[in-house]
Structure 1
């Protein structure tokens, strides 16, 4: 089997092995990641829904509190108010006096300006009942027996929310927002409140749609469904639908319940005590998982095919073809016995070394053959010596060829490992680190609930460490791109002064904590056409180093336009740089150490910054005095040239 055929066969085997391995491992990992992403997204959406509902209820509470403080509503004289205690539906006639009509107008104005409010009312200790609009049926009615009245009387100092209850005169299911009326002596004499129908809450929530085909469900603390994406569940006991998961849904602060239809992500509203859940169907998870799997496999297969084609082409051109030519020359020498053969191979590296050695061997053969003929003077002895030389040549060619093949395989393994490492670092580390940074930010902002001081401290440590690790990963990837000559620059017009102010703002807190004065001397504007992100990356590194190596004093950032360039300088009053350290300052992994001082960092910052500055068409210069401080100056063109 020819070498080229064997190489192609090896690539085919590797292709199928990698595809099969990924096909086995990938589905489970992607399913878990998809489920995690979906549940986290649902948890965030639940927080937003809780915030909306809490704002809605808080607004209603505020309005009811205002009503309870209205002088007309608080008037103790209720002897002339309408009373339904002994009302007869056939004979009762509603005839409010002027005082009561004024209160009715106040209550009705609030009802008509709040579309989700069903009715506004007031009950008194004498049994009187004043309503924003006439009742549907004038039946006998004692407000003092109603749940809203009893709850308000039990909590006279606050606006409270009742559980769900059915209206006496309509089929509506309501919740009440009520406030007790108490005089200056602390005597309770009535209740004012507003009813919000569950249908009104459903209408309010209907504007908040879960992602995909997920379903929203909200119940009160007793398990009565207040609103649901599946309208057939509204106003029913949630135990009919959740069954075994009901206890967890009603008692746990938050969590995920696996049901027969999907995953129920749930949480308890801090304002109302209601249970809010989003049901993610199994089909949504499976669909998204399959889409990601097919996409990854598609890219993987395409990448492997492209890599195989390029590798086979390169191997054929650089190794296989030269080896075949050398083998052909060797075969001709063996077949003809004539070492005077023309070698046309032009290659470098190990193949070039082999070619040179081959030519040297041929020259030695010729010399030895000539010497043998001259020394022995006999044709038979000369042929015998020549045959031995040829045999040795063939064995050495085989040995060198085997060494070259082994070296080539080793180089391919190293290149493949490097590519796999960079790809794995880029995807497997940056993606979860970005998620960690994002969600710690959400936790620190309190979007997922209140956190104590210790939790806040730990979360800040997590966020800071994640950002540091992500920065290190980005540095390593940037170095890889720079060394490969594939660093990417994105050109646009931007205001350099605005970027520098952003940099200064990002270090204010750190400088204050270290007792360092952060100063700047900037003009009004410097317009630049270049890579804004890379420019900012360099300045961030220079300012960070200045603060890092300054125990006290000042760090000053200056900028000015000089001819066709912008010069940005960062000066500090820090420890300075020892003279023996200066030569290695822009080398990778070089760090300035001083006795008794522990300095953070990897030693990649200045190396990367100098390389990026050169890619932008500029450079970095510095001057330093040990014990007095340092000044680094970045010079970049006002208009970078895209190449």
Structure 2
């Protein structure tokens, strides 16, 4: 039996990316592919379709079923400018500024079959394949019935696709957590055993490699999902803003209230997606550091102007101390600002009355420490140990008031590491909290060993 084309879908708009992803997942489900396999194939196809729309202005998607070989193929073609240095891209020797090379290499790892051809000025064709399970689904359904089902599918809306992807993300996170827990249990059992040192060492190395691979897959998954989320979220924000500005007519008070709730909730979700993407970029080594000379006084002034409109509680004061004679820093001002914004935002969330004070002091001759001190509820000692971990939320009712993903402090710690620095905290229930970041005055060259620099900075310079 020859392979049969089930459906051809033109790609002309961003909505078509959402539609193709939904079609792919539906077809894989009908053919008996596992939930994880459906997500991997749908993610790979949507990445290729988005590339065709972004770089070539559109294209076409074909679903091809090879019943004899038990394979489902998805072919994405475009008439764009083609991909220069294709072999270098696929072998990891070239990355474009837009990250297209990373997308192609990662897509190839998500599928069972991958073929690509590209010529300058003649477009690009990419075909990916998924092996189908040995089930009677193909014989029972029939290719004509499958093709009819696909052609009758209602185009998925951005909100529906966002909800579906959110469920996939939650399932993937749960699966990763279960795997990490299994690894921890296995490691404890191995540590309790004092037999076969060579065999034990080999098994521990094997489990560590699996954990590193799981973390890599997690980072890539976050990156893909975050990109997929951004388009519908920005669309929702734009549409709600148009309605709130009365561009399409007046609203009732209740409609205005509900739209404002939609806008605020979408903005919070978009911030979570941005945090996920930032963490994924750091873990994948794709975050660049751009050092430049800047004054701390100027940075404090910018932060003061940024947070002043957010001080809605009259019982709380935000104080920025004078930096005195501190010299200029040579570091990445944007990443340092992101760290301090996270510290100050958390302090505002958990401080009911009193003040939040931002200060800076020298740490010996070569480093500076910037602290954010508040008079809030404080943090329990048990919570301090996990404060800077991914997805860790602490505070009153473990962050019930603030929401979020628990990635802010984890991201701050990773950004400080990129700047050859470190973060820390001291707190006690009912006594407020003190978060700090310690950085070198001059960011060392990349080739210098970070451990040696940190050791030189910490020799009796700052008290924790």
Q: Normalising by structure 2, what TM-score?
A: 0.48
Q: Determine which structure has more spread, i.e. the larger CA radius of gyration.
A: 1
Larger RCO, structure (CA 8 Å, separation 6 or more): 2
